[in-house]
Amino acid sequence: MRDDERGQYFLTTHSPAVLRELTVNELHVVHNSDGVVQIVSAAKEGLEDHEVQGKIRSSTEAFLAKKVVVCEGATEVGFLRGFDDFQMASKKDPFSFHGVALLDAKGGSKVKALAKAFKSLGYDVTVLADGDAEDQFSPKDEKELAALNIPVLMWSDKLSLEERAFQDLPWPSVLASLKLAQDELSFPVYDHVRSRLLAGDLDKDTGTWIDRPELRTAIGFAAKKSCWFKDTTRGDLWFKAVSQAFLDADFAQKNLALELGKLWAWAEHV
């Protein structure tokens, strides 16, 4: 059909396989909101620099969703998948029920452009980004997206997900994270953390470690820099290892839990 010059073909699809074969010039996105139909070309002016073509092939599910969560990286995507499973186990409807897709931006520097691109294509969009690299995603970028009605969730104190989590998680969940990284993911956890700890003794048996602020900071930095959970599968496993924290009333008031709560509310109600 692509080479047939006798006329035009208009086809609708919800098939990821079909989408992957299309170019941006052949794709139009159709949205129906309260009876109002909107048709937007994926090749519309202004999207040239946003790598839409590559995302059609690598993240097809996002184009078939109603709502898109642009995540800074694979850790966030995996962590949110674990969060989604936890919510389903709590008798809540999953992200998919609410038409939500998780998109890996593959770096903070790409978050803003992707969020703007999907917004331009008519999707509801929110962003989940780290706060530790303002040269890649800054408060200015956050304000720019907010002005476009794109909510941005960032961890407080300019921290990454790993750093924020190890500040906020109950200590048993911190130890569970260390056990996962060491025993299942085969990282030399003691060596990684010891090299980041500025003072104090540290037992080689991570299970005996005692909660203290400087140790939490060292663990978070080691987890980030040594990439303990830096892919989707490991991010998912990490959430599952710490999921019981989300039943803890004190933890529910911490920044990590509060931001994820905001994300879930957005998924349910937007």
Which residues have a Cβ under 8 Å from the Cβ of 102 and sit 6 or more positions away? 62, 69, 71, 76, 77, 80, 81, 95
pTM: 0.92
Which residues have a Cβ under 8 Å from the Cβ of 89 and sit 6 or more positions away? none
For residues 124 and 34, membership in a common domain is answered with yes
8 within a domain of the structure (yes/no): no
For residues 187 and 135, membership in a common domain is answered with no
Please, which pLDDT band fits residue 165 given cuts at 50, 70 and 90? very high
Q: Is the pLDDT of residue 176 over 90?
A: yes
Q: Is the pLDDT of residue 1 over 80?
A: no
6 within a domain of the structure (yes/no): no
> What is the arithmetic mean of pLDDT over 115-144?
95
For residues 59 and 102, membership in a common domain is answered with yes
33 within a domain of the structure (yes/no): yes
CA-CA distance, 131 to 87, in Å (whole number)? 25
4 within a domain of the structure (yes/no): no
For residues 165 and 237, membership in a common domain is answered with yes
For residues 238 and 182, membership in a common domain is answered with yes
Q: Is the pLDDT of residue 52 over 80?
A: no
Task: Using alpha carbons, list the distances in angstroms from residue 146 to 47, 62, 125, 151, 153.
Answer: 19, 21, 11, 6, 10
For residues 26 and 139, membership in a common domain is answered with yes
Instruction: Kindly state the tokens that stand for 76.
Output: 């966030």
Task: Look up tokens 């609410």; give the residue.
Answer: 98
Please, which pLDDT band fits residue 14 given cuts at 50, 70 and 90? confident
Report the percentage of the chain scoring pLDDT > 70.
97
Please, which pLDDT band fits residue 51 given cuts at 50, 70 and 90? low
For residues 151 and 168, membership in a common domain is answered with no
pLDDT, tens digit (0-9, with 9 covering 90-100), for 20-44? 888 888 888 999 888 899 999 888 8
pLDDT of residue 49: 64
Please, which pLDDT band fits residue 230 given cuts at 50, 70 and 90? very high
Instruction: Provide φ and ψ at 169, rounded to 5°.
Output: -65, 145
Please, which pLDDT band fits residue 53 given cuts at 50, 70 and 90? confident
Query: What domain range includes position 57?
Result: 16-158+260-269
196 within a domain of the structure (yes/no): yes
For residues 195 and 126, membership in a common domain is answered with no
pLDDT of residue 48: 67
For residues 106 and 31, membership in a common domain is answered with yes
137 within a domain of the structure (yes/no): yes
For residues 123 and 192, membership in a common domain is answered with no
For residues 128 and 168, membership in a common domain is answered with no
Q: Tell me, what amino acid is at 12?
A: T
106 within a domain of the structure (yes/no): yes
Number of domains forming the structure of the chain: 2
In contact, 244 and 173? CB cutoff 8 Å: yes
In contact, 77 and 68? CB cutoff 8 Å: no
Q: Is the pLDDT of residue 218 over 80?
A: yes
3 within a domain of the structure (yes/no): no
In contact, 42 and 24? CB cutoff 8 Å: yes
Q: Is the pLDDT of residue 50 over 80?
A: no
Which three-class secondary structure state does DSSP give residue 56?
helix
27 secondary structure, DSSP code: -
pLDDT, tens digit (0-9, with 9 covering 90-100), for 243-268? 999 999 999 999 999 999 999 999 99
